[in-house]
Amino acid sequence: MRPSAPYDTVGPFKRRLQRSRKKILALLFLIPAVAIFGIFLWYPIYLGIKIGFVNYDLVKDPVFVGMDNYKTVLNDPLLGKAIWNTTKYMAYGLVIGYFLPILVAVWIAEMRRYQNFFRMAVYIPAVLPGIAIYTLWRWMYEPQGLLNTWLGYIGIHGIPWITSGTWSMFSMVLMDTWAGFGSTAILYIAALGAISEETYEAAEIDGAGVWKRIFHITIPGMKNVMLVLLVLQLIGSAQAFQSMFVVTEGGPNNSTLTVLYLIYRYAFVYFKFGPAAALGTLFFITLASLSAIYMLLNRKQEGL
């Protein structure tokens, strides 16, 4: 004989009421986060887009000028220079800053001893204040600084790291790569930890050497993470500003003037907030497109 179902002491109306209360409580907890995002993120974005259509100098009342601010920045000869410098910075960053964390992560993962020590060592630059790092590297880049002193021992003399337009952007990328590659390497090391140890053991039993394990197990195992971090690398390098601001001030001869630095000049050097907001809006649209690509790649990775 089948036992009878227990008596339902809670009616359907009360169950719906309880679920509604839980949803309302969850929404109440979300209100502070939504308010913070709205006040400190979305409202400034809206205000920036709005200022891009007015003439505003913090003294006079805003005057609507339509697309004049966009015409001003698009006709500025420095804009092409800034876009080229930003593109160059991104390209140098891909060649140097993108592959270096991968190499370091693979090297640490292949080590049999002292892994924890080297994980800590590569992450140390990421916790140092940016201003301290840039001040240190500016001293190292001096004509008689540490780098030129070291290079003098092997017969290379007097590289103008930050005083020549040929070397200045490369110097910025080299400095920023040293400052930030450790945190990215830690992400790759975490991705490597997700690869099964049995796979490596089976490869070793089959006679696979270090390079075969790297190219046939390690790199394919990090492929999705590498794609996502590639987009993040592009987004981050497109926003290059702090190192140029501290070390070169956009020079020499605007050779390290990036798009973000040009926006800063419009706003806080020329006090032309309308063109600054217009260029910021165009820059925001570009970065939003890269972010959309990142989200698609991230969603694909989660689906896998």
Condensed to tens digits (0 to 9), the pLDDT of residues 258-293 reads 999 999 999 999 889 999 999 999 999 988 887 888
User: What rounded mean pLDDT belongs to the chain?
Assistant: 85
Contacts of 264 (CB under 8 A, 6+ apart): 241, 245, 276
The per-residue pLDDT for 260 is 93
Residue 7 has pLDDT above 50, yes or no: no
* Cβ pair 233, 176 in contact under 8 A: no
Structure tokens at 152: 């003098």
* Cβ pair 204, 136 in contact under 8 A: no
19 or 5, which is more confident: 19
The per-residue pLDDT for 78 is 93
**H helix and E strand count, the chain:** 16, 2
Residue 45 has pLDDT above 70, yes or no: yes
The per-residue pLDDT for 200 is 75
Residue 197 has pLDDT above 80, yes or no: no
Rounded CA-CA distance 209/280 in Å is 51
What does the pLDDT look like over 213-227, one tens digit per residue? 778 788 888 888 888
Burial 19-58 (b: 16+ CB within 10 A, else e): eeeeeeeeeeeeeeeeeeeeeeeeeeeeebeebbbbbbee
The per-residue pLDDT for 303 is 58
Q: What number of other Cβ atoms are within 10 A of residue 204's Cβ?
A: 13
What does the pLDDT look like over 9-20, one tens digit per residue? 556 667 777 777
What does the pLDDT look like over 104-140, one tens digit per residue? 888 887 777 787 888 888 888 888 888 888 888 999 9
208 or 183, which is more confident: 183
Residue 230 has pLDDT above 80, yes or no: yes
Q: What number of other Cβ atoms are within 10 A of residue 144's Cβ?
A: 8
Burial 120-134 (b: 16+ CB within 10 A, else e): eebeeeeeeeeeebb
Residue 242 has pLDDT above 60, yes or no: yes
Record the pTM: 0.82
Residue 95 has pLDDT above 80, yes or no: yes
238 or 214, which is more confident: 238
CA 101 to chain centre: 14
The residues pairing with 63 across neighbouring beta strands, listed in sequence order, are: 55
Q: Look at the block and give the residue holding tokens 């966009």.
A: 70
Highest mean pLDDT (candidates 21-35, 145-159, 182-196): 145-159
Looking at residue 62, the DSSP 8-state letter turns out to be P
Q: Which of 3-17, 47-61, 103-117, 242-256 has the lowest mean pLDDT?
A: 3-17
pLDDT interval class at 6 (50, 70, 90): low
The per-residue pLDDT for 301 is 61
Q: With pLDDT > 90 as the criterion, what percentage of the chain qualifies?
A: 29
